[in-house]
Amino acid sequence: MNCIFCKISRGEIHSKRIFENENFFSIFDANPKVEGHCLVISKKHFENSLDIPVTLGIELIDCIKHTFLKISNGKIFSGFNLLQNNFESAGQVVKHFHIHLLPRKIGDNFKILE
């Protein structure tokens, strides 16, 4: 499969993992929108959130929580956004399930929706 996230998951493309568990891992986004912008990605290829078995929900939340705690250690983030796009019309570019974790600071002036 020629999927970039599958290649990263298999180790064919090197990436520094922030956190990983059995079914998910996180890495910093190659084109960050804010400081600390990272991605939580499924290790197996699921095209979007509708394809993920609900039984993986606990591991997904585990990866999100541990990722934010690791990247915020020593940083002054006051919150974070999770953004997940499904299908092209909603802005999904890479057809492999992933969530954008966007750390936030008060007054950072970053707008997700206007």
From the candidates 45, 66, 96, 98, give the one annotated as an active-site residue: 98
Does the annotation mark 96 as catalytic? no
Q: Which long-range contacts (CB under 8 A, 24 or more apart) does 5-10 make?
A: 5/41, 5/42, 5/45, 5/94, 5/96, 5/98, 6/45, 6/96, 8/41, 9/41, 9/42, 9/43, 9/44
What are the catalytic residues? 98
